[in-house]
Structure 1
């Protein structure tokens, strides 16, 4: 029996459900129903369970994978990638998905940093497999490839085998969720079986209540990160997952699939929502089945919110949450989204998720007063176990038990949270703290601007000045000086950017997000600023 906390009772057991049971249980209840669709192919829940169990047997028998082993995954979205997650968990192994858009050298670093014993790799990523070969003990290829044995051959050889799920404890690692690495190298956030079980429950409670086996969910993001968590919640309720056939983002295909499969929910990021509702196909299909279009990863600009509500109706759900908290910090459900400004708390990312506590804290860890800006901190069952093999990062990330997100914001009296931006995005000009998001929101009110990113760049007089990178709206050709003149009187003069550059598009991460790191790198590459 574990030692008791002061004034508490020692738990008799910390054992929890192995997450692989989510698929097993759904296959028992709805075995013949469609569970996964990819293009024109589909698999029933029973077939998914049998294939995952067969691959688990192959991993154990042919490669010796067992509890605690890490298995790296370098693959675009596919059914095998999804099955492999449950196969790893069945053995008590840790699923370690990489962003498939990363370079071979970057993925090789992930293999080493995670201590991966093996690699599951798409056939089109031979260079990635070669880069990892010196680190991992085995490689499995998804698709025909000379560099490794085929996934399908392994499944066929072990089909019918069903190794018993390994007993796991609440804090046993299940998923190494690599951060996007906005500063320095990505870090592996350790997500556990107990934590993820809470996250799945919370997603179903707060993001898409009422989800059942009659629902369908469309994948509009890589399964390696937030979309994978989202689809795990679908498995728990027997809702089918729909995977687009193409590898490139195609709004017309997305809306066609919504109509064909009567899709009820989808998870994505604000920039993707923007592109979807601006595409002409949004008006060509029956989208009445949609109940929840969930967006996260960044706040949605007000102009984009209005456009999405007008196109789709009351279906928007926002959540705020880092990978380290698996998205579980705040939620803003459809009832709190409105096209009319007077009916909405403009700029909020919602209130605390069920079972989670959120505070805005000052530098000493004291709770800030309403509307006072500070760092957002969170505690609760969704908080990760820490960064793998990184005590320095863990020491910086936690204070008195609170996880420090690195995001700045404030709360109103009712507990609704408003994001100001990343602490790393804030810049100081002439001694004043400037938060880019406020400026970006204002600039997007200009009818000739489609997207904008504001960041601080060095200046010999002011220390830093604001530089705005602007993408024009279709058919528009705004002038830099005219844009700055338009801001006069609409925002405090000290916050007004000193420079504006106009680009055809902003760089995006592998998950569709616009990050200041990528914008800054592009500015350097174009010679707009010095490195």
Structure 2
């Protein structure tokens, strides 16, 4: 007779306990720096309790959603842990969104409270579904009160961390919405405890309270996850003084605070290592310069390694998997091409995670065969909030389907070919833009490129390459580019047209979404090649 399955509570640590721990053990150490101001861990923990008490007074309880639309600042950082402390759900937005987009997020999440930065009165006015609105910072005069006033009124109040279980939601992580409306990926206390541990093990091992982390991206998404795991080790968080990405100021802060790690995306890292400031300030304290969000082109990798040394770390992961799919640690980045370089890989499986390359039917493919990258493990989110249709599409036999195409070699290193939506078919052949982009970027005068397929009456689709010349370089002609690539690409992969722009459109996180490039091509009348002679 088999034993009955155990049905026990899966009680876990409330993530706000990180602040409790830091306040106790590291109370006098600086935990947060922004401009000329700094806060100790004891002060931050007290601010978290004060804001939690103020929110509780307004009726916020476990499970309620708190929408936060804000530029990076100390009150946004505190709001995360205040929500966690109550067992409520933190719902941050990209502060660059328009008022109608934030209104949609408020409705989709069912937000009960809205904390809005003072620079966005139009957003505050547009969100009418929340029970109350509070203003973040000193620049605004809307809402029933400011977050600072709310914390001051409850200063000294000690709020205990709410009891939570493994699957209790703590964060609605809105996807960037590459297709259709953004979706709320539900992150839980138990899942995020694993993510913190995994990030520390795989991305910034040996992190302690003596380290410092520079924030160069919005705390609403990947940078927020990064700072959460840095906080778990008591490392101080250093913000840029404004939302403007000032590279000189970034390197000055790295030198001033002996910054040991930062999280960014390839396009931002590329800008940093190509800026004169990289030679003007001491950045020898950097041990882990983490880039994610998109693959980094090989030529850009080489340049970063030459400027910073062997400190860059790549990971591949989506918001739905909280960044936990693969890692390519610093030691695996090679400065020179060769057998050891594994050019194009995004690394191997993260600790505790399993990756499978699958065909359309869910069959696992052999090494070297291209299919969809799928993943299982404790970092996978709980599903999309109130969206059964999206959940049905996202999961198959328990595997989360990333929508990214790639293959795995015999040693388990994963190579991303591109988004399934980016691939185009020309004359019956599958073309993966990333492969073509890598070849184009070996041209000494090209700094950025985006390749995508456009309709063609003969071949079905053909490729076009939108190129950005390097600063000071002479812009090549289309025939120059075709001649340069003639020995590097088979003819069927050669773009039919090359366009040269001053810049490529970028998202609020510094990525180059193909949908934005396609929109710009359409706006310029360049999608229909049959009308261009």
TM-score normalised per structure 2: 0.97
Note if contact 2:48-2:82 (Cα within 8 Å) is conserved in structure 1.
Answer: yes
* C-alpha displacement of 1:74: 0.5
1:99 aligned residue (94, 111, 130):
94
SS at match of 2:232: helix
2: CA distance between counterparts of 1:292 and 1:402? 30
* C-alpha displacement of 1:26: 1.3
1: CA distance between counterparts of 2:4 and 2:250? 51
1: CA distance between counterparts of 2:481 and 2:3? 62
* C-alpha displacement of 1:105: 0.5
Partner of 1:3: none
**1:104-143 alignment, distance < 5 Å:** 104-132=99-127, 134-143=128-137
1:432 aligned residue (415, 420, 429):
429
2: CA distance between counterparts of 1:485 and 1:116? 56
2: CA distance between counterparts of 1:147 and 1:525? 37
Deviates more, 1:290-299 or 1:243-252: 243-252
**Is 2:487 the partner of 1:498?**
no
* C-alpha displacement of 1:7: 8.7
2: CA distance between counterparts of 1:367 and 1:22? 40
**Is 2:420 the partner of 1:423?**
yes
Gaps of 5+ in 2: none
2: CA distance between counterparts of 1:352 and 1:366? 19
Partner of 1:366: 363
Partner of 1:473: 470
Partner of 1:84: 79
SS at match of 1:199: helix
2: CA distance between counterparts of 1:490 and 1:60? 63
**1:197-346 alignment, distance < 5 Å:** 197-342=193-338, 343-346=340-343
1: CA distance between counterparts of 2:399 and 2:3? 21
Partner of 1:395: 392
Q: Could you report, residue by residue, the CA deviation over 1:35-92 in whole angstroms, capped at 9, with x for unpaired residues?
A: 000011000000000001100000001x210011011111000010000000001111
1:42 aligned residue (23, 38, 50):
38
* C-alpha displacement of 1:143: 2.3
| Change in 2 beyond 3 A, CA 1:7/1:234 | farther
Partner of 2:522: 524
2: CA distance between counterparts of 1:530 and 1:185? 27
Partner of 2:354: 357
* C-alpha displacement of 1:192: 0.4
**1:141-220 alignment, distance < 5 Å:** 141-144=135-138, 145-148=140-143, 149-220=145-216
1: CA distance between counterparts of 2:518 and 2:104? 23
1: CA distance between counterparts of 2:528 and 2:108? 31
* C-alpha displacement of 1:525: 1.6
* C-alpha displacement of 1:268: 0.3
| Change in 2 beyond 3 A, CA 1:265/1:11 | farther
Partner of 2:63: 68
1: CA distance between counterparts of 2:479 and 2:70? 45
2: CA distance between counterparts of 1:11 and 1:36? 41
1:447 aligned residue (444, 449, 466):
444
Q: Could you report, residue by residue, the CA deviation over 1:419-439 in whole angstroms, capped at 9, with x for unpaired residues?
A: 000000001111111100000
Gaps of 5+ in 1: 1-5
1: CA distance between counterparts of 2:326 and 2:125? 41
Q: Could you report, residue by residue, the CA deviation over 1:444-488 in whole angstroms, capped at 9, with x for unpaired residues?
A: 001110000000111111111101100001112111221122111
Moved over 6 A (4+): none
Note if contact 2:75-2:137 (Cα within 8 Å) is conserved in structure 1.
Answer: no
Q: Could you report, residue by residue, the CA deviation over 1:95-145 in whole angstroms, capped at 9, with x for unpaired residues?
A: 00001001000010110011111111000100001110x211111101242
2: CA distance between counterparts of 1:521 and 1:414? 39
SS at match of 1:300: coil
SS at match of 1:256: helix
2: CA distance between counterparts of 1:129 and 1:285? 40
| Change in 2 beyond 3 A, CA 1:422/1:8 | farther
2: CA distance between counterparts of 1:167 and 1:281? 48
| Change in 2 beyond 3 A, CA 1:388/1:530 | farther
* C-alpha displacement of 1:246: 2.1
1: CA distance between counterparts of 2:219 and 2:369? 37
Q: Could you report, residue by residue, the CA deviation over 1:362-390 in whole angstroms, capped at 9, with x for unpaired residues?
A: 11111110010000000000000000010
1:375 aligned residue (372, 375, 382):
372
Partner of 2:512: 514
Q: Could you report, residue by residue, the CA deviation over 1:267-323 in whole angstroms, capped at 9, with x for unpaired residues?
A: 000000000000001001111110000000001100110000010011010000000
Paired residues, what number?
524
| Change in 2 beyond 3 A, CA 1:211/1:11 | farther
RMSD between superposed Cα atoms in Å: 1.2
2: CA distance between counterparts of 1:456 and 1:12? 53
* C-alpha displacement of 1:529: 1.8
2: CA distance between counterparts of 1:125 and 1:64? 25
